[in-house]
Amino acid sequence: MIELKETGSPPRSTPGKVSDAAGLLAEEEGWSRDDADEMKTSEPAAEATASPPRSRLASPWLPDAPQRCGGSAVKSLKARVRLAKFLVLSWVLIVCGHAFIRAHKSERRWERDPNYSIGDFHSLDLHSCALDALCYFIVGRWWKRKGVDRWNVFAPMVLGLILFSAVGAADIAHYSISLFAIKCLWPPAVVVAAAVLCIAVIVIVCLHVRAAWRDGLLLGRCIEIAATALVFVLPVFRDPSFHLHHWYWTWLIGMHANQDAWWSQAACAFLWGGYLNGIAAYGRDDLLGCKRSFYAAANQHCGYLDCYYESHYTDQNATIPAKPPFQDAPNWRTCEGMAP
C-alpha cells in the first residue's frame, strides 16, 4: 500500500523577501522608490504583516491610479494621472498667486505688472507655460514619483510662490539680471547677495552630482544638462537684450533637481514655485524683451511701428530697410543705453 505524504502549503513570503523582490524589480524596470513601495504594499503577504502607515506628508491626497487597476497598464496610467495633477495644481497656484500678490497695496514690496490679468495669462502665456510644465515634468522625473498633491511637495512649492515676491521688501531685490545690469548698475550689496545665492546653488548642485555618481547616473544627467544649455541658454545668453527673468532661471535649474532624495524633490518643488511666482506676478516675459516684440511687429508689418521708423529713418533721410534691425539694444561693454 502506497502512502501519500501530505504536502504542505508553500511557505509564505516574508516581508524581507517581498522588499528584496520589489527592489530588484524597481532596478530592472527603472521604477522609483515610490513605485517600489507601492509594489510592496500591494503584496498579500505585506498586507498580512502590515507595517505602520506612511507619513501623511508623503501621501497623495488623490490616488495616482484606480485602486483596482493592475497589470502592465498601471504604470502608464499613473504617469498620465500625475501629469494631470501637476498641470492642474500649477494652474491653480498661478491663479491664486496672481490674486495674492495683487492683494498687497505696495507695488514696490510686492512687485508685479499691474496691467497683467488672468485673461492675459490665458490668451498670451498659457500655451508656452504648458510646454514649460511638460518639460519640467519629464526632465524633473515627476512621472516616476508620487503625485505632487502631497504636503512635502506642495509646501515648498507654495513657499517658493510667496517668497520670491516677499523678498521685494529688500532694496537689493529690485535689480534686474542682465549683462548690462550686472556690469553697469549693480551696487556691491547686490554682487554679494548674488554670490551668496550662487554658493547655495553650487552646494545643491554638488549634492546632486554626488547622488548621481553614487547611483551611476552622472553621465546621463550631464548629457541632459548639456542639451538643455545648448537649446535654451546659448542661443540667447550673449544677446545684449537678454534679461534673466526669475521664471526662466528657476525653471532651468529646478528641472534638473531630479533625484529621489527628499531634499532634491523639495528643491525641485521650491524652484517650480519660483517659476509660478514669475508667471503670476509679471507674466511670461520674453528673454529678449523689446527686441523680440520688435521682431514680431516688424515681421508682421504692425502699423504702430511708424513712429519708430520716423525717428530712426525718415527724420534722418534714410531708407527704411525691408528687414529693419533693432537698434535700441543696450551696450553692456560701454554701458550705453537703457537696461532691458
- Quick check: 13 pLDDT over 50? no
> How many other C-beta atoms can be found within 10 angstroms of the C-beta atom of residue 148?
24
Residues 32-71 pLDDT 10s? 555 544 444 444 433 333 434 457 788 888 887 776 655 5
How many Cβ atoms from other residues are within 10 Å of residue 76's Cβ?
11
C-alpha–C-alpha distance, residues 133 and 141, integer Å: 12
Residue among 241, 330, 236 nearest 290 (CA): 241
Q: Tell me the three cell numbers of residue 30.
A: 527603472
Per-residue pLDDT, 125? 95
Q: What is the mean pLDDT of the segment spanning 253-258?
A: 93
Residue 166: band (very low, low, confident or very high) from pLDDT cuts 50, 70, 90? confident
Residue 314 is predicted with a pLDDT of: 76
pLDDT in tens, 314-334: 777 777 777 777 766 777 777
Q: How far apart are CA 182 and CA 175, in angstroms?
A: 9
> Residue 155: is its pLDDT beyond 70?
yes
98, 121 contact by CB (below 8 A): yes
Q: Are 226 and 220 in contact (CB under 8 A)?
A: no
Q: Can you read off the three cell numbers belonging to residue 267? A: 528643491
Q: Cα dist. 22→16, 28, 217, 279, 317 in Å?
A: 10, 10, 21, 41, 77
Average pLDDT of every residue of the chain: 80
Question: Distances in Å between the alpha carbon of 258 and those of 87, 140, 254?
Answer: 18, 5, 8
Q: What is the pLDDT of residue 174?
A: 75
What single letter denotes the amino acid at residue 326?
F
User: Looking at the predicted structure, is the pLDDT value of residue 17 above 50?
Assistant: no
Phi and psi for 331 in degrees, rounded to 5? -105, 105
